[in-house]
Structure 1
Amino acid sequence: MPDLSSIYRTENGVVLIELKLRKIHQLFNTLDPSPFLEKDMDPEAEEYIVDAMLDIGPGKPVKLLIYLPDPDDEEENADTLAAAIRHYFAYRHKAARQDLSQLFQQGRWSLVTGLLFLVACTVGRAAMVWLSVSPLVLPVVEEGLLIMGWVAMWRPLQVFLYDWWPIRRRIKIMRQLSGITVEIRSSETMEV
């Protein structure tokens, strides 16, 4: 698979995620009445930044570079903006960790339920043999119970083998974004 980080500009070994805005507030959800530091990020802006991080990959040094028409007008907001962005991604990191914890809790309950059902099906199978059910019906019922028992194990196996990987990756991305360096520059300096 090609390294998608090469499509992003670098500066002194740091990969740049670049955004061009008219105003800082474009970065945040305008419907959110929270104070600036606690505002939700605009969904499209968040998706762009997170997708860029997925392209770049976790662990590489990254900087969020925001271009504004007149950054001097927003200079007093630069530190607040950086703090708001980091705060938002710290919140998303915490939410992703909670999602993983809930998934594992659901997986544990599914495993207990699946194992109990598998045991019940296995006991039912043995009971059919012991009761000497009709030889025509016995194989069908036996196999049916065995299949049902293993189908009950599908969800816990899916959780513990596959479902947690994307959430773990999201946790790594959000952790890195919660400490990202943010810089504001003039739109005129943006390289095309």
Structure 2
Amino acid sequence: MAQPGRKGAIELRLTDGAQLFNNLDPFPFRERDLSSEAEQYIVEWAEELPKKQPIEIVVHLQSAGSAPDPAASIPDAITGWFRVREREEARAIRQLFHDGRLAFMIGLAGLALCMGLIWLLTKAYEGPFMRVVQESLVIVGWVVIWRPAEMFLYDWVPLLRRKTLFRRLADASVTVRTS
């Protein structure tokens, strides 16, 4: 169990520092992409740590590998990667709210159209069949507005959770130990 004020540690044991990075990425360590397996491992462990606890990532290397100074390049690469992921989630949240505003305007117009049709049909016709048509239009109107409401009420929560997690990982202290 983690103690208050202490950092939650995520430990990676690697034979070579290159295992952390995408093999197809030609850039030097500082700008390289983390491999999807390394990112997934780090993220899954970070999700298990208490939310208020700072994170420490400890990379144990058996050899320095191709990196001239892994202690200097790996920490920047890891924290930089998660800083980029945090910005991507922030952008996704902004895009969701932008799309939500557009969907809300369309939904509001659809709801208004359905309500207007109901009003016109009520004035022009009576009878049980017309009542079914009117109620159907009420249902259609509320269905049209449901997706924008869902976007504003629920869809942003997992994005914000990931953004917060990536910020914690970007702020993590990263230590590289070679043996």
- Two-structure CA RMSD over aligned residues (Å): 2.0
Q: 1:171 aligns with which of 145, 153, 163?
A: 163
- 1:44 is paired with a residue whose SS is helix
Unmatched segments (≥5 aa) in structure 2: none
1:72 Cα shift?
A: 9.7
Matched, 1:24 2:17: yes
1:90-129 correspondence to structure 2 within 5 Å: 90-129=83-122
After the TM superposition, which residues 6-155 of structure 1 pair with which residues of structure 2 at under 5 Å, given as runs?
A: 6=1, 13-70=6-63, 76-133=69-126, 135-155=127-147
Tell me the alpha carbon deviations over residues 129-186 of structure 1, each in whole angstroms, 9 at most, x when there is no partner: 11125x1321111011000000001111111111100100111111111121111224
TM-score when normalising by structure 2: 0.91
What is the number of equivalent residue pairs in this alignment? 178
Superposition deviation, residue 19 in structure 1: 0.6
Match of 1:183 among 170, 175, 179: 175
Cα distance in 2, alignment partners of residues 156 and 80 from structure 1: 44
1:161 aligns to 2:153 (yes or no): yes
User: Structure 1: 5+ residue runs without aligned partners?
Assistant: 1-5, 188-192
- Where does structure 1 differ by over 4 angstroms across 4 or more consecutive aligned residues? 71-75
Q: Give the TM-score of the pair, scaled to structure 1.
A: 0.86
For 1:59, the aligned partner's letter is: K
